[in-house]
Structure 1
Amino acid sequence: MATHLSAADRLGGVGVRWGIGRGRYRVIPGLYAVGSPDAQSPVIVTANYKLTFDALRKELSGLNAWLLVLDTKGVNVWCAAGKKTFSAEEIVRRVRACGLERLVAHRTLVLPQLAAPGVAAREVRRGCGFKAVFGPVCASDLKAFIAADMQASPEMRRVSFGLWDRLAVAPVEIHNARRKALYAALILLFLAGLGPGVWSLGRMLDRWPAAFGSLVLGFFGGAFIMPALLPWLPFRAFALKGGLAGLAMGTLAAALFAGGLGWLDGLAMILAATVVGSWYGLNYTGSSTFTSPSGVERELRRYMPAQAVLTLAALVAWLVSPFAA
């Protein structure tokens, strides 16, 4: 198996970063050879999400190893561990399927550290006789980890979540939001024209840019501003962090677009942007190392009703505004 990425690999990776073909970007599960492995070579376990697979194999140049790829349904290691597809059961199944015990003399599997929430090491040993050792967080540290007799330094165990990491999924949100944006634009074309005399084309042309602009800026606040400023925004809840970013963008939208419109229009724009920012902030919980499944469930129960109330308030303010002018 090649350890260098081809132009097609890199192009595919860029496409997936923008959400193109993400659900189909996977490799066939099974056992792969890196270099010229023998019975003493390490066995490294990973997911079959191709972006993960490529990120790992490009760091293994010069190493002779076995790469055991699990069927995680095309999901990355950390998310697959949360979804229980990167699990002890799948490891045992894959080890038995490829007859790994006949290929290697040792009984050690190197697992990514981020798989730990989904894997019970004792179940791996009980099921196939192999010991599960959790390697470093970053694939770039893997060769050093193996050279150090599979002992990780504190730095190898530390999870970094820098600006690039926080913004890596933002382009995917643009791709995923495109259909919602189209539906919102069409609905707002109708709602913007409502008022005295039932519906007016001129009123629609005056109010629609403000309405749609507030949603776009709210999206930008929740999907881009909130992740970028994540460590510094107040509040623990992501819904509140996103709501704060959306509030700022909604205020900007009102300043940019609400000239000549009523104060209720401006209020509706601020509320709508706040809700959109809060929604995408809440959605970001699945992309952050700061959260847990229980924390996500707690946020959903606590903040989705509030988002629904603010959405209703924004709608009422927007519909009432033409009659209050």
Structure 2
Amino acid sequence: MPSLTDSHTFSLPSSCSFLISVTDTNPISLAALRSTHFYLLGEGSNSIFVDDFEGVVVQNKIKGLESDDLNDVIMLRVGAGENWHDLITTCLKNHWYGMENLALIPGSVGAAPIQNIGAYGLEVSTFIESVEFIELETGAKHKIKSNECRFGYRDSIFKNDLAGKVLITHVNFVLPKSNYMETSYGELANLNAPTPEKIFNTVIGIRRKKLPDPRQWGNAGSFFKNPIIDKSLLTQIQHEYPDIPFFCISKTLVKVPAAWLIDKLGFKGKVLGGVQCHPHQPLVLVNIGSATGKDVLEFARLIMSRVKEKFNIELEPEVRLIGRNGLIEL
């Protein structure tokens, strides 16, 4: 059975029945999936194989980048198998500005719309014009506009109605030439005379300082989503923790940092089996070299139960956990 240890950044010992790569949209190469138990994988930065997967793992390796310089915008058509950070670097070199806040996010271009990746005040959906995909059941090719993707916070139609049913082949981006720079978030607010280059370099510096390199310590980035709660619950928490940070979402809803909740419960730096809650960023669980899938699930469930018990907030994983038969819910 092919090993998956090097195919996902958490690097747990795991395997699958078969491992294949898709490099083009030839229907012949996809025909076998119609009657096969499979899991679609990009660069494995948001997937953790907690057990041996009894099916076929399909790696999306569709490459390519096309650009079109129009009057007011730059249009990009990018293969789903391209590396995300490499795309952001290429954009900056070509003065195609807008997505600098999303620098150094691990993963592939095809995974970006699925997760609606975001960082430092921006989400990728802001720049997506459309997404192209193949319907695995029929082999039919489709393109849907951004407003049809049902983008939400770390969410999209590709995580719900179309999950496991389609293979994203290309993502089309639109980058306005009159770019507005988002610098209201965190350290970016302190930039003097911000430029896209300054934002890019600052974001990279912050991420390298706060987040562990998966090449040294296996991890899947942020393990949990930042929860969105009602303001009335926030008021209750503020009675004991007046310093709780929050971001207003609407008149009745706020987003609170999951890292703050986890830190307040003393998990930062704690170890369970071969998994550590990162000592600098408690939102990240790390494989310290001997982690098992059981360790990951036990630690994640412990954190979730403690947060629920203390704050009455239900954390939701941002990562995708895959067991023998597919996705696992905590």
Q: TM-score range by the shorter chain?
A: under 0.3
Q: Which has the higher contact order (CA 8 A, sep 6+)?
A: 2
Which has a greater percent of helix?
1
Q: When the two structures are superposed, what TM-score results if normalisation uses the length of structure 2?
A: 0.26
Which has a greater percent of strand?
2
Q: When the two structures are superposed, what TM-score results if normalisation uses the length of structure 1?
A: 0.26
